[in-house]
Amino acid sequence: MPELDLLSKGLTTCQGCPMELIGRAALDTLGPRTITMTPPSCSAILTGSGDETGWGIPSVQTVLMSLPAFASGVSEALKIRGMDDVTVMGFAGDGGTFDIGLQSLSGAIERGHKAVFICYNNEAYMNTGNQRSSATTLGASTKTTPTGKKESAKNIDFMLLHTPLAYQATASVGNIPDFKRKLKKASEKDGPCFIHVLAPCPSGWKFPTSQTIEVAKLAVKSGAWLQFERENGKITINQKPADFALINDYLDAQKRFGRVTAEIRERIIAEAKGRYETLCRLAELDCLV
Amino acid sequence: MQKLVQQRMKMLETLPTIIGPVSVKISDVHTGAWRYRRPVIRRDDCIRCGICATYCPCGAIEKAEEGMVIDYTYCKGCGICTVECPKKAIDFPEESTFRKEGE
C-alpha cells in the first residue's frame, strides 16, 4: 500500500517555489500528528480555498495578524485533552511574522505555549505582487520601491534573542537536512520555538527557477544569511561565512539588485560583516534568556 | 449482527486517532501542463543518492526499485533537480520535442 501524501502534489505554487519545499520537508519530519495553520500568504495556497485543501493533516486558515494567537489556542486545547505528542506548526511568511503578526508572535512567545513557528522569509509580500516588507534587503527593488529600498531590513533573529523561546534557529532551503534536524529538535521542546528559513523566491527576486537552491546556498556562503541556533541560553553558529566578497555574486545573481550602486553594495557588505561580528560576540556569552 | 459490530469496532481501533478536522477534498491540479522543459534521468549515470528527491519542491521525484522516478503529472519543470544532481545525470530537453514524438 503506498504511503499517503501529507501534502498534496498538485499544488498551484510557482515553479521552483521554496515555500512548498519547506512545507514538504517539515511534514516529512513532523509526521501525521501535526496541526498546521497558515495566514493569508503564499502558504494559503497549501491550505486551499473552499472545501479543498492541500494538507493531509488538520489545517486552519487564520487571519494575517493573529496566527500565533490561533496556535496558542490550539496548543492549550491539546494540552487539556492530554495530547502531548501533537505538534502545532505555524507556517507564516515574512509579512505574517515581521510586520503584521509581530505583536501576536511576541505575545504567544511570552505566554510560553508549545508550538513551532516557521517563518519562510522571501523578503517581500510576494503573494500580493512583490511589495516591500520590513524583511526586504537594502537596495532591493520591489513594486513599491522601484528604485531600490533605502532602509536596511529588520533583524528579527536578534530581536527575538531576548524573548523566552525554548528554541530558536535560522535555516536555509539550501540545506534541507540541517532544517529537518532543527525542526526535529524544536518539535521535542516543551515551549515556543521559532525557525526562520530563507526562501529565495524565483518570481520576486527575479532569477531562473532552477537556481532557487543555489541562491540559498550562496546567501549562506557569502554571509548575507547567518546560520545559527539558540538553545539553553547559548548561541551556536552552524556555518561560518566563507567570504563576504561573495555578496557581490549573490547580488548579481538576482535581477532585483540590478540597480544597486557601488555605495549601496558596500553598505550591504558592511552590514553583513557587522551582523556576523555581533553574532560572534553573542556566541561567547551564555547568559541570554 | 453483534459479531459484525465487534469486527467493525476492532477495525476502527487500528485506524490512527483523529486529532482534528481534515478536508477529504484534496487539491489536485495536474501542474505538469505548465512544463516547457522536461527533466529526464539518464539511468546509467544516476547513482540513486536521492538528492533530487530531497530538493524537488513538488515532491514529484520518488525512489523506486529501478531508480529515481519522476511523476510527470505534477512535475512543473522548474529544473532544480538538473542543477542539484551531483552527477549531472538529469537532461533538460524542451517539452515540444516529446510532443512531436507522440504525434
Considering only CB atoms, B83 lies closest to which of A25, A86, A213, namely: A213
| CB-based contact A48 B59, cutoff 8 Å | no
Residue of B nearest to A20 (CA): B57
User: Which residues of chain B neighbour A35 with C-beta distances below 8 Å?
Assistant: 19-20
Encode chain A in three state secondary structure. Answer: CCCCCCECCCCCCCCCCHHHHHHHHHHHHHCCCEEEEECCCCCHHHHCCCCEECECCCEEECCCCCHHHHHHHHHHHHHHCCCCCCEEEEEECHHHHHHCCHHHHHHHHHHCCCEEEEEEECCCECCCCCECCCCCCCCCCCCCCCCCCCCCCCCHHHHHHHCCCCEEEEEECCCHHHHHHHHHHHHCCCCEEEEEEECCCHHHHCCCHHHHHHHHHHHHHHCCCCEEEEECCEEEEEECCCCHHHHHHHHHCCHHHCCCCHHHHHHHHHHHHHHHHHHHHHHHCCCCC
Considering only CB atoms, B23 lies closest to which of A32, A52, A212, namely: A52
Give this complex's ipTM: 0.88
Residue-by-residue pLDDT tens, chain A, 289 positions: 345 678 888 899 999 999 999 999 999 999 888 999 999 999 999 998 888 889 888 999 999 999 999 999 999 999 999 988 999 999 999 999 999 999 999 999 999 999 999 999 999 999 999 999 999 999 999 999 999 999 999 999 999 998 999 999 999 999 999 999 999 999 999 999 999 999 999 999 999 999 999 999 999 999 999 999 999 889 999 999 999 999 999 999 999 999 899 999 999 999 999 999 999 999 998 777 6
Residue of A nearest to B21 (CA): A58
Chain A interface, best mutation among B14, B22, B23, by max A CB count within 10 A: B23
Q: How many domains does chain B have?
A: 1
> Residue B60 is part of a domain; what is its CATH number?
3.30.70.20
CA distance A5 to B94: 29
Q: Is A79 on the interface with B (CB under 8 A)?
A: no
| Domain range A18-284, its CATH number among 1.20.140.10, 3.90.600.10, 3.40.50.970, 3.30.70.240 | 3.40.50.970
User: Which residues of chain A neighbour B77 with C-beta distances below 8 Å?
Assistant: 15
Residue of B nearest to A11 (CA): B29
Q: What range defines the domain where residue B42 resides?
A: 27-97
How far off is chain B from A19, nearest CA to CA, in Å? 8
**Domain coordinates in residue numbering, chain A:** 18-284
User: Which residues of chain B neighbour A55 with C-beta distances below 8 Å?
Assistant: 22
| CB-based contact B78 A11, cutoff 8 Å | no
| CB-based contact B20 A58, cutoff 8 Å | yes
pLDDT in tens, B9-59: 776 676 666 788 887 788 888 999 999 999 999 999 999 999 999 999 999
